[in-house]
Structure 1
C-alpha cells in the first residue's frame, strides 16, 4: 500500500458514495430498497411486480436513477417515493469501528455523495457508527434530482462545497459513476463486491478507463492508506 500513497498524497477532499460503498453489498441492505422500488411502481402504475421490475430497471438504465425516470415520464412526487423506498430495516448494519477510525484519519474534509436522500444517508452512516466523521452529505435533493453518473450533480457538489476536483478522491461501487470524477481529475477507487449482488444488472459492471484503484474491502484499503499518508 505504501506504493499507492503518492497517488493520494495531494488529496484533501475525500468523497464517498453511500450504498454498497460505505457498507459491503453482502449486508444486502440495498436489496430492500430495490424491492420497495418495485412495489412502489407496481402500486403507482397498477401493474404486477414483474412489469414493475422491468419498468424500474429500464428507467434506471436510461435516466441514471429510477426516480429520475419516474419524474420525467410520470411526474411523480419525489418525496413520497424517497420516503417509501427508504423505509427499510437497518439492523443488518453494525458499527464498523475500523472503518470509522480509517475515515477519521484521512487528512482533510470527508463527504458522502449519494443518489439517495439525506435521511437515508444519515440513518445508514449512524448505524455504521461513522456519521460524525463526515463534514457533510450531498444527496439527490441537493442535486435537484439530477443523479450520478450525469455531469450536473458532480458540478453542483463541487460548487456547493468548494471542492477542487484535482485535490479529491472518489470512492464508488459503480464504475460508470467514476467516469465524470476521473475526467475532472479526481483519484478514483472502485469498491467492488467479491460476488455480484443479486440486485445489480450485468451492464452495471462494465468498466472503462475511469478507475485508478479497485478494492473489495474499503476499510482495509483506507486503514492502510491512512497509515501510509
Structure 2
C-alpha cells in the first residue's frame, strides 16, 4: 500500500466516496441508535445472554471484526440476510430532507459513490429521506458487495476499487469513524472525517466512536458536510 500523504486540497479528486450512516445524515438524529438497539436484541436471541452481556459482546465484535454481523457470522454462523432485514426494520423519519447536501454532492465534479457496511435497501431508505437523489450516486457498494468483509478491512476497499476502477490517488473518502479512514489514507485517498457536534453524547455511543485523535490519516474534519463541500474550490 502507498503511504504517501495525498494533497490536502481536494481539487484533484474525481471520485467522491461517502459512508452512509452518521455521514450522509447527522449522528444527532439518532437513526443508527435504532439499528444499534435492534442489533443488541439480535445478539440476545442468538446467544441467549442477558442483555448487558450481549451488548458488551456486540461492541466487542464491532471493534474486532468491523461489524457485529461479521463477528456473528464467524462465531455463530448467522444468516446475514436475516440479520440485515431484522436490524434495518426501523423508523426512518428522524432523517430530515437535506436539499442543500444533495445539491452540494451533485455539483461535485466526477463520480460519486456510497461505500457502506449496511445494505443497499437501508441506503435507499436513507436517500429517499434526504431528497431528490435519483442518479446522484454511481453505485451503492454495500456489505454484500464486500462479500461481508467490512470496512475497515483492506479487502473491503480493494473490492470497491476493483469494481469501479478507482484510482485512490484521485479519490476522497468521507466517513464518521476514524478507523475507517486509515486504509483510504494508506492507499493514497484524501480523507474527511464527518463528526457530530462537540457537545454530542448518547448512552448508546461509546467514546471511541466519536474519537478525533488528529492522526495523519485524517486530512480534514467537519461537522457540516454540506457546508464543507460548498466551500471547496
Check conservation: 1:25, 1:197, Cα contact below 8 A. no
Residue 196 of structure 1 and its aligned partner are, at CA, apart by 4.2
- Please give the alpha-carbon distance, in whole angstroms, between the structure 2 residues aligned to 1:91 and 1:44: 29
Separation of aligned partners in 1, 2:10 and 2:65: 32
Secondary structure, in 3 states, of the residue corresponding to 2:9?
helix
Residues 29, 92 of structure 1: 8 Å contact kept: yes
CA contact (8 A) 1:176 1:206 kept: no
Shift of 1:6: 7.2
Taking structure 1 as reference, are residues 18 and 74 closer, same or farther at Cα in structure 2, changes over 3 Å only?
same
Unaligned 5+ residue runs, structure 1? none
Whether the 8 Å contact between 2:181 and 2:217 is mirrored in structure 1 is yes
Other-structure match for 1:88: 90
For residues 181-207 of structure 1, the C-alpha deviation after alignment (integer angstroms, 9 at most, x for no partner) is 001111100001112444332233163
Select 1:139's aligned residue among 142, 162, 170.
142
In structure 2, what is the equivalent of residue 202 of structure 1? 207
Match of 1:35 in 2: 37
- Distance between the aligned counterparts of 2:231 and 2:212, measured in 1? 27
Provide the rounded CA distance (Å) in 1 between the counterparts of 2:74 and 2:8: 43
1:160 aligns with 2:167: no
CA–CA distance in structure 2, aligned partners of residues 196 and 166 of structure 1: 35
Number of corresponding residues: 222
Q: Does 2:120 correspond to 1:122?
A: no
TM-score scaled to structure 2, two decimals?
0.92
Q: Is the 8 A contact 2:8 2:219 kept in 1?
A: no
SS of aligned partner of 1:7: coil
Name the TM-score, length of structure 1 as normaliser.
Answer: 0.93
Separation in 1 of the partners of 2:206 and 2:76? 24
Determine the C-alpha separation between the residues in 2 that align with 1:199 and 1:8: 34
User: Taking structure 1 as reference, are residues 41 and 148 closer, same or farther at Cα in structure 2, changes over 3 Å only?
Assistant: same
Contact 2:8 2:190 in 1 (8 A): no
Task: Confirm whether residue 186 of structure 1 aligns to residue 227 of structure 2.
Answer: no
Q: What CA deviation, in whole Å up to 9, does each residue of 1:106-153 have, x standing for no partner?
A: 000000000001100111111111532111100000000001111000
- Per residue, is there more helix in 1 or in 2? 1
Q: CA offsets, 1:9-57, max 9 Å, x none?
A: 1100000000000000011000000000001111122222111101101
| Aligned counterparts, 1:6-155, within 5 A | 7-129=9-131, 131-132=133-134, 133-155=136-158
SS of aligned partner of 1:98 = helix
Aligned residue for 1:166, secondary structure, equals helix
Q: Secondary structure at the match of 2:20?
A: coil
Structure 1 CA distance for aligned equivalents of residues 179 and 107 of structure 2: 28
